[in-house]
Amino acid sequence: MLQQLSIQNYATVDSLEIEFKSGMSVITGETGAGKSIILGALGLTLGDRADKGIVRTGAHKADICAEFDTNNIKAAQQWLQENDLEADPDSNACLLRRVVNSDGRSKGYINSSPVTMASLKALGEMLLDIHSQHEHQSLLHRGTHQRLLDDFCVTAKVLEEMQSTWKQWHKNALLMQQLSNRSQEDSAQTQLLAYQLNELDEMGIGVDEVAKLEAEFKSLNHADETVASVQTALTLCSAEEEQNAKSLMHQAVTALQDLPEKNKRICNIISLLETANIQLDEAVSDLRAFADEFEANPERLEQVNARLGQLHAIARKHKVKPSELNQVIESLRQQLDLIQNSDAELERLEANDALLRDQYLKFAAEISKQRKKGSSKLAKQVNEQLQQLGMPHASLEVSLTLSDKEKPSLNGTETVEFLVSTNPGQTAKPLIKIASGGELSRISLAIQVITAQTSDIPSLVFDEVDVGIGGGVAKVVGQLLRKLAERTQILCVTHQAPVAGQGHNHLFVSKYSDAGSTLTQITELSATEKVREVARMLGGEELSDESLAHAEQMVASN
């Protein structure tokens, strides 16, 4: 439900924060005081169009934020999760914010993340519904009619199974289409893949061949330098000369061993030199073995160089590194296998398509049966409410129109639309064709009263619901709104005392002048203040004992 509305620099509001409670909250005030400001501000958080004229004079931007409790709104929680816009896990508060600059440009936010107006609208429709002439009223959209009717009379499990089956069927159909489209290109693609794969296979590229060849190339390319350096090392270490490493090492050990007295430290040094001498012998042995085995091989160098050239050339052709050629081969082989197996896959998808179609039509037929039976019942109950609401000639019809058989939808094989006739002999028309805002609000109220026990919209706002009605009907309107508030949060802008008297909570809108500008403020009334406001609505600014007593009776009758 709606918990709080914060308004900054909007129209005649400087700064305003309104706390909302459960139950029925009525909003009253003198004509021109700015009661529509609340609805206008809410509308902006729900994605309504904005223009620079709404920014308070002298301000750079208007900032409106609505806070909702989504604890019991599963659809909203799922939508937020799917769009990565979840609120704080420790709180179920969801913030919808709209900032409108003085140049008319605006930005929308959900839980502090920037979003499009379409996202604000999509989420807003799950949180709150405004019944007035405003464009965002959900009852002006046929999708809402279908949802309300289904909530009213369709078994939830059957509807869920039908929609789940449709999603599987739709996904299967997309895969079939992709395979079908691809099959038209498969012949040329197969030839290209087969040619590329054959070319690479003929080269017989080994695992890590490039790395091994590059190492061998470097070695062969420096063969002369390697032979010369090995020979020099052998000469320095053990050649038949007096001044080589081996003879010098021997002389050092002999000199130390001839000492008449050798302490522990000298003994350790002798041991290290003897160990070094042994290691030197091993190094010399390895150098001789390497010199005997290694030789410059110009022919092998040329072969390695040529092979590397081939591998680099084919790699450039496939726009990869030479070391990635084995991955290219595997990828080409997988693509070719997929195409060659596509016929079998298409047959499997076609069989699955027939199975899912039969399952979908079975569920859809049951839902159609339930809708047909429920539509008559819903229309009858709504029309009974319309009689009580002072619209004796109004009549609601629930139209079920078969959809295109070739284009089955997520919602079944028919579309649902509410049609209304407001005068005798008048052809029933869609709700959007109704000119009177007051008539539309009362029709919306009648529909909501009947569907309230099954609908999951947590907050409803009614504006001008009492336009053009007398006191008796107004009392009925108030009673119906109060009854509706037992399950749904209700906000009602009203000019009628009988309606205002039914509210659980009462917000009073007034305006005042400050430093040459007119500002709007909203106050929650106490029980005593509520009686005086209802009395004002009954008899004007001059409160009489009679109007106060009448008002007290209205309020006390709750």
Q: How far apart are CA 507 and CA 493, in angstroms?
A: 9
- pLDDT tens digits along 255-275: 888 787 778 888 888 888 888
User: What pLDDT does 263 receive?
Assistant: 83
Residue 317 located in a structural domain: yes
**Token representation of residue 316:** 């450039």
**Token representation of residue 42:** 């809410």
User: What one-character DSSP code corresponds to residue 426?
Assistant: P
Higher pLDDT, 258 or 154: 154
**Is the pLDDT assigned to residue 133 strictly greater than 70?**
no
User: What pLDDT does 515 receive?
Assistant: 67
**Is the pLDDT assigned to residue 422 strictly greater than 60?**
yes
| Domain, as residue range, for 267 | 189-340
User: What pLDDT does 223 receive?
Assistant: 64
Nearest to 154 by CA among 142, 165, 163: 163
Q: How far apart are CA 377 and CA 373, in angstroms?
A: 7
Q: How far apart are CA 194 and CA 190, in angstroms?
A: 6
Contact (Cβ atoms closer than 8 angstroms) between residue 39 and residue 83: no
- pLDDT tens digits along 481-514: 898 898 889 999 888 899 999 999 999 998 877 7
**Is the pLDDT assigned to residue 242 strictly greater than 70?**
no
Contact (Cβ atoms closer than 8 angstroms) between residue 440 and residue 462: no
**Is the pLDDT assigned to residue 234 strictly greater than 70?**
yes
Residue 54 located in a structural domain: no
Question: What is the band of 442 on the pLDDT scale with cuts at 50, 70, 90?
Answer: confident
Could you please report the per-residue DSSP string of 132-174? SS-TT-GGGSHHHHHHHHHHHHS-HHHHHHHHHHHHHHHHHHH
Nearest to 205 by CA among 323, 88, 104: 323
Backbone phi and psi for residue 129, each to the nearest 5 degrees, phi listed first: -130, 125
Residue 336 located in a structural domain: yes
Q: Alpha carbon of 339 to those of 178, 197, 201, 248: distances in Å?
A: 12, 14, 19, 75
Residue 319 located in a structural domain: yes
Q: How far apart are CA 477 and CA 81, in angstroms?
A: 38
Contact (Cβ atoms closer than 8 angstroms) between residue 32 and residue 513: no
Rg (CA), the chain: 43
Contact (Cβ atoms closer than 8 angstroms) between residue 367 and residue 158: yes
Contact (Cβ atoms closer than 8 angstroms) between residue 132 and residue 464: yes
Strand 13-19, strand 2-10: pairing: antiparallel
**Token representation of residue 97:** 């914010």
Contact (Cβ atoms closer than 8 angstroms) between residue 389 and residue 476: yes
Q: What is the residue-averaged pLDDT of the chain?
A: 84
Strand 505-514, strand 24-29: pairing: parallel
**Is the pLDDT assigned to residue 236 strictly greater than 90?**
no
Q: Quick one: average pLDDT of 449-463?
A: 80
Residue 184 located in a structural domain: no
Q: Alpha carbon of 547 to those of 406, 507, 532: distances in Å?
A: 65, 20, 9
Q: Quick one: average pLDDT of 47-76?
A: 89
Nearest to 505 by CA among 555, 540, 458, 464: 555
285, burial (CB in 10 Å: exposed 0-12, middle 13-18, buried 19+):
exposed
User: What pLDDT does 556 receive?
Assistant: 66
The number of distinct structural domains making up the chain is 1
Q: How far apart are CA 288 and CA 294, in angstroms?
A: 10
Q: Quick one: average pLDDT of 281-307?
A: 77
User: What pLDDT does 185 receive?
Assistant: 63
User: What pLDDT does 296 receive?
Assistant: 66
Residue 41 located in a structural domain: no
Q: How far apart are CA 24 and CA 493, in angstroms?
A: 11
Residue 248 located in a structural domain: yes
Q: Alpha carbon of 303 to those of 217, 237, 350: distances in Å?
A: 9, 36, 55
Could you please report the per-residue DSSP string of 230-247? HHHHHHHHHSSSSSSHHH
CB count, 10 Å around CB of 549?
12
Q: What is the pTM of this model?
A: 0.62
Question: What is the band of 222 on the pLDDT scale with cuts at 50, 70, 90?
Answer: low
41 three-state secondary structure:
helix
Contact (Cβ atoms closer than 8 angstroms) between residue 77 and residue 70: yes
Cα-Cα-Cα-Cα dihedral sign, residues 38, 44, 47, 52: positive
User: What pLDDT does 240 receive?
Assistant: 57
Q: How far apart are CA 96 and CA 245, in angstroms?
A: 85
Backbone phi and psi for residue 22, each to the nearest 5 degrees, phi listed first: -75, 170
- pLDDT tens digits along 79-129: 998 899 987 666 678 999 999 998 889 999 999 999 999 999 999 988 988
**Is the pLDDT assigned to residue 411 strictly greater than 60?**
yes
135 three-state secondary structure:
coil
Residue 204 located in a structural domain: yes
**Is the pLDDT assigned to residue 402 strictly greater than 70?**
yes
Nearest to 170 by CA among 178, 76, 403, 146: 178
Could you please report the per-residue DSSP string of 174-231? HHHHHHHHHHHHHHHHHHHHHHHHHHHHHHTPPTTHHHHHHHHHHHHHTHHHHHHHHH
CB count, 10 Å around CB of 49?
11
Q: How far apart are CA 168 and CA 158, in angstroms?
A: 15
